[in-house]
Amino acid sequence: MLMLPLALFSWWYTTAWRTMARRIQQRLNHALDFFSVGLLMRTLFDPFRQIAAVKGQGNVNVQFHAWLDRTFSRFVGAAVRGTFIFVGSIVALFILLLGFVQMLLWPLVPLLPVIALLGLLMGWKL
């Protein structure tokens, strides 16, 4: 009869806690992969959806125009990628904070019925 509560206690504070930490890490990795934060940081100033970066063969005016096109495309790419990096980082931070709170509260969950019973006996009201 005592084995079941001991097994539950052992599982709750070892295996389940480790599994929860692993799942938090998986959610964080999934969010960073979903937003491709690493790839976007490596390619931050690459041209944005520019099929062919024309080098501008010809006179100075054509070369300058091609340079302006490439530069503008790089700034647009940096703005779009920067936005996705920012949003992905905020989502990852949110997942990290929720996971931290979850890890802190996990050991207290088995005590909630005891706390509720004590509160009921002391006359706490919702």
Better pLDDT: 126 or 52? 126
Please state, in angstroms and rounded to a whole number, the distance separating the CA atoms of residues 39 and 30: 14
Q: What is the pLDDT of residues 52-95, one digit of tens each?
A: 556 657 788 888 888 888 888 888 889 999 999 999 999 999 99
Q: What is the pLDDT of residues 34-47, one digit of tens each?
A: 999 988 899 888 88
Question: What mean pLDDT value characterizes the chain?
Answer: 87
Contacts made by residues 104-112, CB under 8 angstroms, sequence distance 24+? 106/16, 106/17, 106/20, 107/13, 107/17, 110/9, 110/12
